[in-house]
Amino acid sequence: MSGIRWVLPFEERPPQDGACIGYPTDWWFPEKHAKGERAKDVIVAKEICAECHVQRECLDYAIAAQEQYGIWGGLNVDARDVLTRKRREQGTLVLFTKIAVNEFGI
Ligand code: SF4
């Protein structure tokens, strides 16, 4: 398959054992909802993220992967953009590398 894939160090893949496990994934992706539901879902999702033991790793992953949707580490994309700019200014920004792949996936 041709396209783009991320080169992710194993330790920097999204956390698999976060506090959101077992809750509806849609709560973390309010972009999928009608406006009325979004605010409630975002509040609940952020509360769960605030208690999550991998909150920092989750947020770092989303910033490094330049995720454009969803709540990651308790922050939506706008808040992540602010933090991304701050880290860039501080010289602490880490981004994953995107590479082109051919029809064989390599
Ligand atoms: S920080 Fe939030 S989205 Fe990330 S793993 Fe934890 S609960 Fe899930």
Identify the CA nearest to 27 among candidates 54, 14, 46. Answer: 46
| Of 28, 46, 57, 60, best ligand 1 pocket probe by most atoms within 8 Å of the beta carbon | 28
Residue 14 CA: nearest ligand 1 atom is 5
pLDDT, mean of residues 74-87: 96
Residue 12 resides in a domain: no
Q: Which residues line ligand 1 (CB under 6 A)?
A: 15, 18-20, 28, 48-49, 52, 54-55, 58, 72-74
Domain that holds residue 78: 24-99
The answer for residues whose C-beta is within 8 angstroms of residue 13's C-beta and 6 or more apart is: 61
**57-77 CB burial, b ≥16 within 10 A, e <16:** bbbbbbbbbeeeebbbbbbbb
Please write the tens of the pLDDT for every residue from 4-25. 555 555 455 677 889 999 999 8
Determine, yes or no, domain membership for 68.
yes
DSSP-derived 3-state class of residue 48: helix
Is residue 16 assigned to a domain?
no
Selection from 89, 92, 68, 93 nearest residue 78 by Cα: 68
Q: Number of folded domains in the chain?
A: 1
Q: How confident is the model at residue 84 (pLDDT cuts 50, 70, 90)?
A: very high
pLDDT at 37 over 90: no
- What is the three-class DSSP state of 75? strand
